[in-house]
């Protein structure tokens, strides 16, 4: 079947307490990896997957995200006047066109499922993507595009997964595996943050989703789960039987930039991948007393 995934939801309402004091006045999604904010990596990944409508679920103090994706005519004119064409192209590439970007507000932090539910009127009755900006994926083929390419053959819900050590399952949503061909996993359940002794597998959901609108209908019930929050994992699991659930083992590396070590590792990997920085950065690293 031919299925177009046109819309993507970016939950960006979190407070970023793990990065205080840096995030006291700046959204955590605006923290830079090398020279681009976290949220821009997610938007570029969505663009590469064919997304046409970008939906941000924001909260208090997130106006910097709106400003970042808006045009800045004065700055563009200055760069053009100074002949800084590379910077001008870089700046314009971070601008989203009018009519292709929407913002809605999550008035209180009730969980990831609640954040996605807040975008329901903008999503409508069609399949959609969800990207968690804390997760950066360094892949030859962008992670979301891998999911979007796999989606037409399976439909329903498909989530990016990676195999994690059993002792780490309590950090993730984890699939109950029915069958596994190495890349595509058919699941008959999903559990949010299970203890290692009760985890149904080591297949952990990794911050990228393509979801059926059935998930939104399940979220309408506003059921709470782990930590008293409305969990996206629970809503996805509740749709099994009505729509299929698959996990997809993406090719590439994921960095959890919601914690400091993952954030630092992402900066190193992306700097080493930049032709304009790699050699000088390698030389600078060698001067450190490691």
| Backbone phi, psi, residue 92, to 5° | -65, -30
Radius of gyration over every alpha carbon of the chain, rounded to an integer in angstroms: 19
Q: How confident is the model over 228-248, as a mean pLDDT?
A: 92
CB contact at 8 A, 113 and 232: yes
Alpha-carbon span 81 to 271, nearest angstrom: 29
Cβ neighbourhood burial of 74 (10 Å; 0-12, 13-18, 19+): exposed
3-state SS, 30-89, equals HCEECCEEHHHHHHHHHHHCCCCEEEEEECCCCHHHHHHCCCCHHHHHHHHHCCCHHHHH
List, in sequence order, every residue forming a beta bridge with 55; answer none if it has no partner: 9, 102
Q: What average pLDDT does the chain have?
A: 91
Percent of the chain predicted with pLDDT > 90: 66
- Map out the domains of the chain with their CATH numbers: 7-286 (3.90.550.10)
**pLDDT digit string, tens, across residues 135-152:** 999 999 999 999 999 999
Residue 46 has pLDDT above 60, yes or no: yes
What pTM, to 2 d.p., does this model score? 0.92
The contacts of residue 193 (CB under 8 Å, 6+ apart) are 169, 170, 171, 172, 173, 226
Query: What gap in Å lies between CA 210 and CA 196, rounded to an integer?
Result: 27
Residue 2 has pLDDT above 70, yes or no: no
Q: How far is CA 171 from the centre of its chain?
A: 16
In the chain, DSSP finds a helix count (H) and a strand count (E) of: 11, 13
Q: In this predicted structure, what is the pLDDT of residue 25?
A: 86
Instruction: Compute how many other C-beta atoms are within 10 angstroms of the C-beta atom of residue 276.
Output: 9
Q: What is the pLDDT of residue 236?
A: 94
Run of H or E residues at 264: helix 260-272
Residue 57 φ/ψ, nearest 5 degrees: -100, 105
pLDDT tens figures, 60-117: 888 899 888 888 888 888 888 888 888 888 788 888 888 899 999 998 888 999 999 9
**Per residue in 145-190, pLDDT tens?**
999 999 999 999 999 999 999 999 998 889 999 998 888 999 998 8
Using 50, 70 and 90 to split pLDDT, how confident is the model at 1? Answer: low
Within 10 angstroms of residue 183's Cβ, the number of other Cβ atoms is 13
Greater confidence (72 vs 121) lies with 121
What is the Cα–Cα distance from 136 to 139, expressed in whole angstroms? 9
Sign of CA dihedral 63, 86, 97, 117: negative
Can you name the residues that pair with 54 across neighbouring β-strands?
8, 101
């Amino acid at each position: 079947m031919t299925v177009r995934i046109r819309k993507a939801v970016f939950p960006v309402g979190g407070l970023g307490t793990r990065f205080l004091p840096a995030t006291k006045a700046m959204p955590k999604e605006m923290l830079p990896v090398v020279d681009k904010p976290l949220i821009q990596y997610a938007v570029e990944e969505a663009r590469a997957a064919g997304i046409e409508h970008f939906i941000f679920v924001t909260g208090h103090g997130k106006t910097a995200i709106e400003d970042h994706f808006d045009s800045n005519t004065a700055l563009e004119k200055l760069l053009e006047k100074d002949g800084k064409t590379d910077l001008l192209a870089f700046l314009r590439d971070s601008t989203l066109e009018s009519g292709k970007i929407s913002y809605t507000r999550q008035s209180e932090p009730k969980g990831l499922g609640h954040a996605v539910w807040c975008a329901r009127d903008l999503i409508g009755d069609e399949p959609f993507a969800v990207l968690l900006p804390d997760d950066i994926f360094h892949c030859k083929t962008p992670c979301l595009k891998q999911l979007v390419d796999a989606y037409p053959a399976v439909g329903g819900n498909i989530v990016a997964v990676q195999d994690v050590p059993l002792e780490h399952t309590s950090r993730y949503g984890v699939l109950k595996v029915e069958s596994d061909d190495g890349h595509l996993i058919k699941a008959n359940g999903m559990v949010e943050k299970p203890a290692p002794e009760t985890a149904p597998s080591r297949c952990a959901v990794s911050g990228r989703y393509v979801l059926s609108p059935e998930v939104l209908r399940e979220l309408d019930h506003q059921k709470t789960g782990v930590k008293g929050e409305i969990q996206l994992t629970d809503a996805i699991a509740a749709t099994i039987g009505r729509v299929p659930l698959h996990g997809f083992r993406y090719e590439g590396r994921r960095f959890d930039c919601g914690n400091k070590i993952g954030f630092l590792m992402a900066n190193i990997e992306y700097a080493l991948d930049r032709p304009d920085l790699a050699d000088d950065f390698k030389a600078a690293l060698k001067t450190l007393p490691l």
